[in-house]
Structure 1
Amino acid sequence: MTTTGAHQDAAGATARGWWWWGRRRSAVLDVTLGAVSALECAAEGVGFADYAALPVPVGVLFGLVVGAALVVRRRWPIAVVLVSIAITPAEMGYLMGIVGLYTLAASEVPRRIIAVLAGMSLVAVLIVTFVRLRQDIGSAEFDPGPWYVPLMAVIFSLGLNAPPVLFGLYIGARRRLMESLRERADSLEQELSLLADRAEQRAQMARTEERTRIAREMHDVVAHRVSLMVVHAAALQAVALKDPQKAAKNAALVGDMGRQALTELRQMLGVLRAGEAAPVREAVPLAAVGRAAAAAASAVEAVGAEGEPCLDAVEELVEQSRQAGMVVELQVMGEARAYGPQVERTAYRVVQEGLTNVHKHAAGAEVVVRLAHRAGEVAMQVENGPVDGKAADAGLGLPSGGNGLVGMRERVTSLGGVFVAGPTEEGGFRVSAVLPAPVRGM
């Protein structure tokens, strides 16, 4: 339940407990005004009884009953004003008339009704005042002039009717303005809450995407290097006693690959430490999320520019697999040229993942790596032949999490490319990708 709904429920409960009043002090105020109005009318009822030749108790009782009608001014303001107009000839109910007109003008009654009732009250007071002044002047010993009675009647009637009507209109307009501002504030609060929720969702999506990207990078760095290290370690174990010179060569290769893996891991950890300097907080503004994403992308590109392998290092990548005992053929078609850093990194990772899968699942199979430079795109393919049964039985049992090809597909499709992986008719396996690759600087 919202805060506004809770307030409305509380107001409704209070209204049910105090009839039509929303608050206890409103009821106390109206009852007090009703009592004062009843006493005023009762006192004025004495003079009315003498003027109308009625018993005084009747006049007093009539004043008490009529004056008490002010209690219901909030519920029936029109009725209260009509009663005050009706008793104007009896020269009673001045407080009722003033408070009733104020309440009527401040209520939600249409303006036309307010104008009609205010006009009726003005005319009634004007007529009664005019007649009373004429009677008083007629019994006096001096003549103030013909203008005195009309002027005083107009002033008196305007003084009793205009201020409460104008003040009531002002209070009503102010009340409606405050309600409108309160509704707008509630609406803005809801909109801000929705925006905060969306910002949190976007921040969560940014964190998820960053974790996925880091997982892909860690997989690419670790899987290939460690796979080659395991292959060389197995070869080292097999020839350690028979051929010490070859064993020493394999040991050196294992050390070189371990150092390369550590270098790439340090670069990745450097990106993570840079990201820790500006952590994502709750209710992050959308602009801050965008700046964080741009900074992360810039950091990744900087890592690649400082030494992350690219297309120029594919030949070295193939040579490492050859040194591990794999039969690999590299075919390059088209004129080699420089591409954007993301394209070069992704192409390199596709070839790397393809060779890693051969080491894991097709030990001993012959491999063909194809790299084609075309107009506006670059294509790469890693295809291995069928696995020899003896070589398969002698496999190293390298673990696989099944995330390599999924990560490659995400990389390629995020750049607008096409990725295909699957078995061949000859019993081998093929990994292919095509990347849109405009020439750098164009």
Structure 2
Amino acid sequence: MTVTGAEIAGGGQGPPRLWWWERPRSFVFDLALGLLSAVECAVLGARFAGEAGVPVVALVLLGFVAGGLLVVRRRWPIAVVLVAVAILPADMGYSMLVVGLYTLAAFEMPRRVTGVLAGMSGLGVFVVTVVRLNHLRDDPTSQPDWVVWLIAGLMSVGMIAPPLLLGMYAGARRRLVESLRERADGLERELSLLAERAEERAEWARSEERTRIAREMHDVVAYRVSLMVVHAAALEAVAVRDPQQAVRNAALVGDMGRQALTELREMLGVLRTGDGGRAVPAVRAAAPSVVREAPLAARPAAADGGLVAVGAVRGAEADGHGPCLDELDALVGECRVSGMAVELSVDGESATYAAEVEQTVYRVVQEALTNVHKHAPGAKVQVRLAHRGTEVAVLVLNGPADGVAANADLPSGGNGLIGMKERVTALGGGCVWGTTDAGGFKVSAVLPASGTRG
């Protein structure tokens, strides 16, 4: 039976292997052991040859070759032990036997094989010791036989047990070190994998945050700017023939521009501080002062057309909350002032929903109305809000453009509907849109009341 290089103590990742040695120093160490064993066996063989009357050269050569086999102890430890047991009767090979038993116990050899070879070695040492003691006694009757057996037994145990125990300890220690090394390598790989996953999650979070910011910026800017463009076009059309109407339209454009700037300041304040709870109220507090500075001509127009003042529209945001369902009336009123025919209907009993649900419903209606401004000027619009207990639904339906209202030629990036669907889906709801048989367009969304995130 052989022992592979992977079973040798201290197998590392250092210099290149030399045959079955893991490191060059192991080769040098075994070579030195083999040379010492060969010299010892040759000297003991020469002494035994003189006592036994055997040719000295033959035993010296036998001892040198047999002792030199200790060089291959890592490769063939069983063969080394067997050769050592075989040359014990010639009174040589003791050191070879000790080292061979140590190597046998230290390496991953079957315990049964190690036990058999240890028993053979112990018996061989016992027999050879008894024979030597009987041969050295001048008077065999001077000492009882049990004394000889006791000395031989102690000699056998003293030569066999220590190397076996030391080898088993070294093997167990090596296996423990290898296990700890493998565990450390595994932990290092796991840490590297966790670091890679953390980087991936961070990149995903950055991407999600960029998408969210882009969606918020679109919701804040697109609607207000669209209305500003519509009113600017109307202002251009009536500036000469109806100066009073032109003044009212100019006032509305100014109001809407101030609202857009206020909302932008709120968002930029959050981005700068990273804590919307502290930054936003301070910035939102500027909204009422902006309203007070609005031209007086804007207020009669708002009253005639149902437009609620800017401070009322943004009142819910002044206390730290985003748009809510109560602000839909104001949103519809703004659109009516711009000339859009909008009808708002509410079904079911009003309920309290999560803040993000109400804000998302508001943004869905806002985006749908913005698209009507862009793509269907003059179209009639129906906004239907339904309270269904565990969920809230909204439908925005518009007919085709009437062909009379001027097209404001507003640009479209195609991101509004996508962002709207992302908002709704993130809260566990559903959102669909598409054209109608009458040539119009409809947007529908359903959200759970609790706003459970999917």
**TM-score, with structure 1 as normaliser:** 0.84
Once structures 1 and 2 are overlaid, which stretch shifts more, 163-172 or 367-376?
Answer: 367-376
> In the alignment, which of 3, 13, 16 is matched to residue 14 of structure 1?
16
Which AA in structure 1 matches 2:449? A
* Pairwise CA distance, 1:325: 1.7
Which AA in structure 2 matches 1:210? E
Check 1:436–1:19 CA distance in 2 against 1; reply closer, same or farther (3 A cut).
closer
Which AA in structure 1 matches 2:397? E
* Pairwise CA distance, 1:80: 0.8
Is the partner of 1:181 in helix, strand or coil? helix
Once structures 1 and 2 are overlaid, which stretch shifts more, 340-349 or 247-256?
Answer: 247-256
| 1:385 match | 399
* Pairwise CA distance, 1:151: 2.3
* Pairwise CA distance, 1:303: 7.0
Q: Is the aligned partner of 1:374 residue 2:373?
A: no
CA deviations on 1:195-253 (whole Å, 9 max, x unpaired) are 33333333332222222222211111010000011111222222333333322222221
Q: Counterparts of 1:410 and 1:379 in 2: how far apart (Å)?
A: 16
CA contact (8 A) 2:357 2:450 kept: no
* Pairwise CA distance, 1:305: 5.8
* Pairwise CA distance, 1:361: 0.8
Q: Counterparts of 1:340 and 1:173 in 2: how far apart (Å)?
A: 63
| 2:91 match | 91
Is the partner of 2:320 in helix, strand or coil? helix
CA deviations on 1:33-66 (whole Å, 9 max, x unpaired) are 1111111111111211112212323332222122
Q: Counterparts of 2:365 and 2:375 in 1: how far apart (Å)?
A: 15
| Structure 1, unaligned runs of 5 or more | 278-301
Q: Counterparts of 1:304 and 1:201 in 2: how far apart (Å)?
A: 37
Q: Is the aligned partner of 1:169 residue 2:168?
A: yes
User: How many residues end up aligned between the 2 structures?
Assistant: 404
CA contact (8 A) 2:33 2:71 kept: yes
| 2:243 match | 244
Is the partner of 1:416 in helix, strand or coil? coil
Q: Counterparts of 2:396 and 2:76 in 1: how far apart (Å)?
A: 89
| 1:354 match | 368
Is the partner of 1:14 in helix, strand or coil? coil
* Pairwise CA distance, 1:390: 3.5
Q: Counterparts of 1:304 and 1:149 in 2: how far apart (Å)?
A: 107
Q: Is the aligned partner of 1:345 residue 2:328?
A: no
CA contact (8 A) 2:433 2:442 kept: yes
| 1:414 match | 426
| 2:225 match | 226
CA deviations on 1:372-422 (whole Å, 9 max, x unpaired) are 22332222222222212243xx31110001111111122222223232222
CA contact (8 A) 1:382 1:432 kept: yes
Which AA in structure 1 matches 2:363? R
Which AA in structure 2 matches 1:405? L
Is the partner of 1:315 in helix, strand or coil? helix
| 2:208 match | 209
Which AA in structure 2 matches 1:342? E
| 1:55 match | 55
Check 1:335–1:55 CA distance in 2 against 1; reply closer, same or farther (3 A cut).
closer
Is the partner of 2:394 in helix, strand or coil? strand
Q: Counterparts of 2:434 and 2:319 in 1: how far apart (Å)?
A: 32
Which AA in structure 2 matches 1:385? G
* Pairwise CA distance, 1:276: 8.8
Check 1:408–1:304 CA distance in 2 against 1; reply closer, same or farther (3 A cut).
farther
Check 1:238–1:405 CA distance in 2 against 1; reply closer, same or farther (3 A cut).
same
Aligned Cα root-mean-square deviation (Å) = 2.7
Which AA in structure 2 matches 1:422? G
CA contact (8 A) 1:304 1:345 kept: no
Once structures 1 and 2 are overlaid, which stretch shifts more, 52-61 or 185-194?
Answer: 185-194
Which AA in structure 1 matches 2:447? L
Check 1:436–1:59 CA distance in 2 against 1; reply closer, same or farther (3 A cut).
closer
| 1:293 match | none
> In the alignment, which of 420, 423, 432 is matched to residue 444 of structure 2?
432
Check 1:200–1:425 CA distance in 2 against 1; reply closer, same or farther (3 A cut).
same
Once structures 1 and 2 are overlaid, which stretch shifts more, 340-349 or 60-69?
Answer: 60-69
| 1:270 match | 269
Q: Counterparts of 1:64 and 1:269 in 2: how far apart (Å)?
A: 90
CA contact (8 A) 2:393 2:445 kept: yes
1:28-427 equivalent positions in 2, closer than 5 A: 28-138=28-138, 143=142, 147-275=146-274, 306-391=320-405, 394-427=406-439
Which AA in structure 2 matches 1:265? L
Which AA in structure 2 matches 1:176? R
* Pairwise CA distance, 1:88: 0.8
Once structures 1 and 2 are overlaid, which stretch shifts more, 302-311 or 45-54?
Answer: 302-311
CA deviations on 1:250-303 (whole Å, 9 max, x unpaired) are 2221222122112222222233234499xxxxxxxxxxxxxxxxxxxxxxxx97
Which AA in structure 1 matches 2:392? V
| Structure 2, unaligned runs of 5 or more | 1-5, 277-315
Is the partner of 2:137 in helix, strand or coil? helix
Once structures 1 and 2 are overlaid, which stretch shifts more, 356-365 or 233-242?
Answer: 233-242
Q: Counterparts of 1:307 and 1:234 in 2: how far apart (Å)?
A: 33
CA deviations on 1:143-176 (whole Å, 9 max, x unpaired) are 4555532222222222211111111111112222
Check 1:423–1:61 CA distance in 2 against 1; reply closer, same or farther (3 A cut).
closer
Which AA in structure 2 matches 1:372? A
Check 1:213–1:305 CA distance in 2 against 1; reply closer, same or farther (3 A cut).
farther
Is the partner of 1:58 in helix, strand or coil? helix
Check 1:358–1:167 CA distance in 2 against 1; reply closer, same or farther (3 A cut).
same
Q: Counterparts of 2:246 and 2:411 in 1: how far apart (Å)?
A: 25
Q: Counterparts of 1:139 and 1:276 in 2: how far apart (Å)?
A: 104
Is the partner of 1:109 in helix, strand or coil? coil
Q: Counterparts of 1:325 and 1:55 in 2: how far apart (Å)?
A: 129
Is the partner of 1:332 in helix, strand or coil? strand
CA contact (8 A) 1:219 1:404 kept: yes
CA contact (8 A) 2:424 2:431 kept: yes
Once structures 1 and 2 are overlaid, which stretch shifts more, 352-361 or 203-212?
Answer: 203-212
| 1:280 match | none
CA contact (8 A) 1:314 1:348 kept: yes
* Pairwise CA distance, 1:96: 0.7
